[in-house]
């Protein structure tokens, strides 16, 4: 399977406070590390661990989304939580935008659903 390129979308970077270059750098560094890890998994043909990474992105998206409400309740700015939430959503979309990869991910997820259903009945 071909390697993929992930990026931090410009609208997410533009949503960050201008005076804080650290957050943008942190996001770019994180995406670069995830890209390397995902490409290593693709090179190994390890779709199972790739789906694990995707599920972690989904879990983090949910965690940041919930954190936004909490920050607002405490009168704090949720801008960083919103940016990280949106980044995780974007990464999920970027992975699914790879047509061959999306098919592999769906097959693995369906296999897990079937496997879990069989295990829970036994």
Task: Say whether pLDDT at 116 is over 70.
Answer: no
Q: Is residue 23 part of a domain?
A: no
- Dig out the tokens for 68 from the structure: 């936004």
Q: Is residue 13 part of a domain?
A: no
For residues 25-48, average pLDDT = 96
> DSSP letters of the chain?
---------HHHHHHS-TT-HHHHHHHHHHHHHHHHHHHHHHHHT-HHHHHHHHHHHHHHHHHHHHHHHHHHHTT---HHHHHHHHHHHHHHHHHHTSHHHHHHHHHHHHHHHHHHHHHHH-
Q: How many structural domains comprise the chain? A: 1
Q: Is residue 104 part of a domain?
A: yes
**Rounded CA gap, 122 and 120, in Å?**
6
Q: Is residue 33 part of a domain?
A: no
Identify the pLDDT of residue 50.
95
Q: Is residue 118 part of a domain?
A: yes
pTM, full prediction:
0.89
What are the pLDDT digits (tens) for 48-96? 999 999 999 999 999 999 999 999 999 999 999 999 999 999 999 999 9
Structural domain harbouring 50: 45-122
Identify the pLDDT of residue 100.
85
DSSP SS3 for 8: coil
Identify the pLDDT of residue 2.
79
Q: pLDDT category, 99, cuts 50, 70, 90?
A: confident
Q: pLDDT category, 29, cuts 50, 70, 90?
A: very high
Q: Is residue 100 part of a domain?
A: yes
- Dig out the tokens for 44 from the structure: 């190994």
């Amino acid at each position: 399977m071909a390697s993929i390129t992930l990026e931090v979308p410009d609208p997410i970077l533009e949503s960050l406070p201008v005076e804080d270059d650290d957050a943008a750098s942190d996001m770019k560094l994180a995406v670069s590390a995830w890209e390397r890890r995902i490409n290593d998994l693709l090179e190994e043909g390890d779709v199972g661990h790739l789906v694990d990474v995707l599920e972690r992105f989904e879990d983090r998206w949910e965690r940041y989304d919930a954190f936004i409400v909490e920050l607002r309740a405490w009168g704090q700015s949720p801008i960083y939580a919103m940016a990280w939430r949106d980044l995780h959503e974007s990464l999920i979309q970027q992975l699914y935008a790879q047509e061959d990869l999306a098919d592999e991910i769906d097959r693995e997820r369906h296999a897990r659903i079937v496997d879990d259903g069989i295990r829970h009945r036994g």
